[in-house]
Amino acid sequence: MPFGMGPHICAGFNFATNEAKITIAMILQRFTFSLSPGYVHSPFPFLAVRPEKGVQVIINAL
């Protein structure tokens, strides 16, 4: 078993995970996200399918 798993897991792991969830929830409540009108999807097979040139996102504050 790799270090950090099982009975030797980091004591702050659950705290960090919960804090990340709360932070993401707060961001989603305060902003809207939409794709740029000029965005063209071009899938690129890697370990998982991903956009070849990234994703252009427009972020607006509520």
The amino acid present at 32, given as its one-letter code, is T
Q: 10 Å Cβ neighbour count for 6?
A: 8
What are the extents of the domains in the chain?
Answer: 32-62
Which residues 6+ apart lie within 8 Å of 22 measured at CB? none
Q: Does position 6 have pLDDT exceeding 90, yes or no? A: no
Q: With 0.85 as the threshold, say if the pTM is over it.
A: no
Which residues 6+ apart lie within 8 Å of 52 measured at CB? 42, 43, 44
For 13-57, the pLDDT digits (tens) are: 888 889 999 999 999 999 999 999 988 888 888 788 888 888 889
The answer to whether the beta carbons of residues 15 and 7 sit under 8 Å apart is: no
Owner of token pair 């794709």: 35
